Amino acid sequence: MPKNYKFSVNKKYLLISNFLGNKNRHGGVKRSDQIKELFDKFDCISVNPYSTLKKSIKKALYYPYIFIDILIFSIYFFFKGLSLRGVILFSFKSIEIIRIINLNKNREIILDGAGDLPIILMNYLAFKNIRFSTFLGNIEYLVPQDNIINYFKSIKYKYSLEIKGYKKASSIFTISEFDSAVLGCHQIKSKTLNYFPCEKDFQAIKEIKKLRDNTFTNKSKGHILLLGTIYNTPTKIGVLDAINYFNKQKKIYPLKVAGYGTEIFKNYSSDCIDIVGSVTEQNLKELIINTKILIINQIETSGFLTKIIDFNLSGVPIICTSNYFQVNNLQKYGIFKVSYSEIPKLLSTNILEKKYEFFEKPYL
């Protein structure tokens, strides 16, 4: 990718995302909303053509020529690392994606989103000599997953096909400097475009910040918040590890655990641990307003936690208790990397009263 690569108002774009419109607003969805908003100033069509297998099978009946074309590609790539399951799933589930691409041949393709399917899609576009750029939420082969051989014969093939796909991209935009450094080790040039909430989310965050400044004045009260989701494997592991630690410790401040699916940890509830579980936007807002500090216990992976930016903009200090490389040297933003045993000492200082810098919005 040229270092001076620029998107142009004179070009037409097709943004393909597998997260747009997702009602479960996890980090991937927020990143997709950011990318879509960045491209709103261009002549860009934004779509989410990823669908269920049931709907995709019906599409095969309507567009048999597209299905056969994809099937031939998939069988060929079976010998390059796709599993038999991957051949079947990609052959059906990519029909609508390819149909939309064929209808917009005058537009440059932008891929956004994470997962196995986008990796194969990159290789399909390269196979067809179709120009594309990609925006990463994370580097997939570095992310622990429950089922790593869903589309691929092994993690080795997933790794090789993902890297091959990136090498064929016209431009690559990562979410963190760490990801750019990893790609650099593969001689792949990229540019970091940090996460920042879309305008709608940003306005809600500004409201929370204002309420915290006006109402959360009693620093001796409030709770520690542990926020995560079972949707993301590394986050799920980190949340459970943190719960287990707090269960062993004397009460520091009340700990509230919230996030999509976290009600599965209800049996860990105690006098000092409140498992709130999945929450509405309004419930989350109320939780954040009275949060003394956010605890992050993220196992090392690629990407960048969107909640770090969101909570920084909300005025909430953050403590990371794991060896999560991406939070190194962020103290000026009120983000501290300490062990659990060091939390009481840190909270006894004036970190809650300090004014910290805020992350800034990036632009294309």
Please say whether the structural domain 199-347 has been given the CATH code 3.40.50.2000.
yes
Q: At 26, is the secondary structure helix, strand, or coil? A: coil
Domains 12-192 and 199-347 share a fold: yes
CA distances (Å), origin 267, targets 5, 255, 261, 276, 320: 52, 15, 13, 12, 24
A 10 A CB-CB count for 119 gives 25
C-alpha–C-alpha distance, residues 174 and 183, integer Å: 9
- Cα 173 to chain centroid distance, Å, stands at 13
Residue ranges per domain, the chain? Answer: 12-192, 199-347
Mean pLDDT, the chain, integer: 88
> Rounded to the nearest 10 degrees, what angle do helices 53-62 and 84-93 cross at?
60
CB neighbours of 293 closer than 8 A, spacing ≥ 6? 224, 225, 316, 317, 318, 319, 347, 351, 352
Distance separating alpha carbons of residues 139 and 300, to the nearest angstrom: 12
User: What are the beta bridge partners of residue 224?
Assistant: 255, 293
DSSP string, 70-109: HHHHHHHHHTTTB-HHHHHHHHHHTHHHHHHHHHTTTSEE
Q: Which CATH architecture has domain 12-192?
A: 3-Layer(aba) Sandwich (3.40)
CB 86 within 8 Å of CB 57: no
Tell me the pLDDT band of 157, cut-offs 50, 70 and 90. Answer: very high
Tens of pLDDT, residue by residue over 203-259, are: 999 999 998 888 765 555 778 898 877 776 777 887 888 788 777 766 667 788 888
Q: Which of the residue ranges 34-43, 114-123, 346-355 would you say has the lowest mean pLDDT?
A: 346-355
pTM (two decimals)? 0.87
